[in-house]
Chains A and B, each alone.
Chain A
Amino acid sequence: MSAAFVSIAQVSKRFAPHLSLGDKLAAKLGGAVETRAVKAVTDVSLAIRRGETLGLVGESGCGKSTLGRLVAGITSPDAGVVELEGAPIRARGRKTTTRIQTVFQDPFASLDPRMRVGDTIAEGPLAHGLVPAGEGAKAFARRWLGTVGLEPDYVDRFPHQFSGGQRQRIAIARALAMKPDVLVCDEPVASLDVSIQAQIINLFLDLRRRLDLTMLFISHDLGVVRHLCDRVAVMYLGRIVEIGPTAELYGAPKHPYARALLEAVPKIEGGRAVFKPISGEIPSPLDPPPGCAFNPRCPLATDLCRAELPALRELAPDWRAACHYAR
């Protein structure tokens, strides 16, 4: 494996229900209280290489956002470690690096409604001494507004005076103003209109080239990921089931889930839109099935799949899948 810029090693994250004293008592007495933890991310190892854009795809609830938050340093893993160039990104319960920044899904929630957008952009760099206070900070914020394609004179406006697409540009400017090496994008276009999505994706392409960014791009939109990413990782129920180069993986996915996911994308064939939905529901992450987590929905499942968890095996150069029968 080539050198990892961001390394994610055997990372797991569980969410235990918050139990009050009364709940604990009720659970002890046999009441119907949910005490099991949700296993959002289980034993994930990944390497993101310098300068590449890694796509992370999967259904809602598969843990891709949680993995994104772990890579962004927002939460700490229960097990495992996330490192940037060999140094852990968190220490003593706090994020310690500014070299990884995040763009969130909903630009209506991710900007402080009571802060002028110029202050929002300059706040982080000011707090970390990257820009001088005063007029310097304002000029800095104006430059960044220009860089993301907004009018520099908007620095004194509040978020509510902008549209969704404009807000997402401001959120991108805030993240990039910290001069990060790595940008974690958690569904950054999912809440935008389709016409705006294209603009924001082109902005990402442009900025990635100009600023030499490494990106983790989380999305459930397979088309966007194909357009933007060098490699793709497919997640299912908290685990990576397949990871490989975008073009090859889209051409001939090896894991049955990746195949099903790609077939579920509506296609136009003979003038009619056709798509094949994946049968069944995603199992509860409270109680994942034994063996391969995809076995209840997999058309090829055998007794082996129901008994034994498949490991992520290298099947072709730089291409791995976690399926007993993938070749």
Chain B
Amino acid sequence: MAVTFLQPGSPTRRFLGDFRESWIATGALAVVVLIVLLAVFAPWITPQDPYDIANLSLADARRPPGFVGSEGYVHVLGTDAQGRDLLSAILFGLRISLEMGLAAGLFSFVLGASLGILAAYLGGRFETAIMRFVDLQLSFPAILLALVLVALLGQGKGQLIVALVAAQYAYFARTAFGAAATERRKDYVEAAAATPLSGRRIILRHLLPNALPPLIVVATVQVANAIALEATLSFLGLGLPETEPSLGMLIANGFQYMMNGRYWISVYPGIALIVLIVAINLVGDQIRDQLNPRLRR
């Protein structure tokens, strides 16, 4: 079968064309792609493996950007408190941050969208129970919930993802419910029920595809939020264990040296984090603008 969705005039093609018209969004998307590529290929492009204990060198510790270390290469962004190359540490940190953000985003998407669409389809008591619980949770700060869960579950990648999903699925559930409840009332859903088609088919083939656009917007924004949330938890020392230094932990490690002028240990990981989050949000904003029919030209 031909790739029909890229035919001229197809919605996907038009969507990509509109996206390219905004140079900010295109630039942001390029940045996101670049960061993802850097993170994925970090083991092959960084001068040093920051996890290798052999690379710890106290003689090279806390050196400023541009310092030529004892191993003979330039530490472009300086070194951290243990003498590791900061650029390498940042790229490996991005890897972990992105991994956590994407995993948390994906699982919250699946859980939240399922609950939201199911609530919209079934209505009645199920809807009331699910959506009131979601509302209750949305009125509670996400960071506080994540903190409590990490404290209960302990440290580790799996535990942290559970905490992030628990803090974030509610946004997906709310959005999915709103979109699906609107679609639910439309004639084509009634037509499907009048055929009759099974509830499973109505949900998967009609409600889900039509509720998807707003969910994609929430997904981009929530990946960025998950990364920020994970960084916050790691900064507070409650996120990942020492063996998995994400960006948040790098910032925390350099924090104590901020006051005596060794700014780079905290600031460069911080800049990397900000650039990543802002770029993802800009892409998400553009998608939202394009999917909102009222903003359509």
Contacts and interface: CB of A to CB of B under 8 A. Distances in A.
Contacts of B186: 109
A96 B197 CA distance: 10
Interface string A95-110: 1101001101110011
B210 A104 contact: no
B210 A102 contact: no
A253 to B, nearest CB: 32
Interface majority SS (helix, strand, loop, mixed), chain B:
helix
B33 interface: no
B194 A101 contact: yes
**Among A95, A112, A124, A178: residue with most chain B CB under 10 A:** A112
B187 A106 contact: yes
Contacts of B206: 112, 115
Contacts of B73: none
Interface string B183-198: 0001110111111111
Interface of A: 72-74, 94-96, 98, 101-102, 104-106, 109-115, 123-124, 127-128, 156, 158, 171, 174, 178
Contacts of B190: 74, 104, 110
Given A112-B192, A156-B4, 5 more contacts: A104-B187, A105-B187, A109-B186, A110-B188, A174-B191
Interface residues of B, number: 19
B261 interface: no
B209 A114 contact: yes
Nearest to A20: B128
B210 A73 contact: no
A1 B249 CA distance: 84
B188 A95 contact: no
A114 B225 CA distance: 30
Contacts of B125: none
**Among B4, B186, B195, B209: residue with most chain A CB under 10 A:** B195
Nearest to A159: B188
Given A109-B186, A114-B210, A102 B191 contact: yes
A73 B194 CA distance: 7
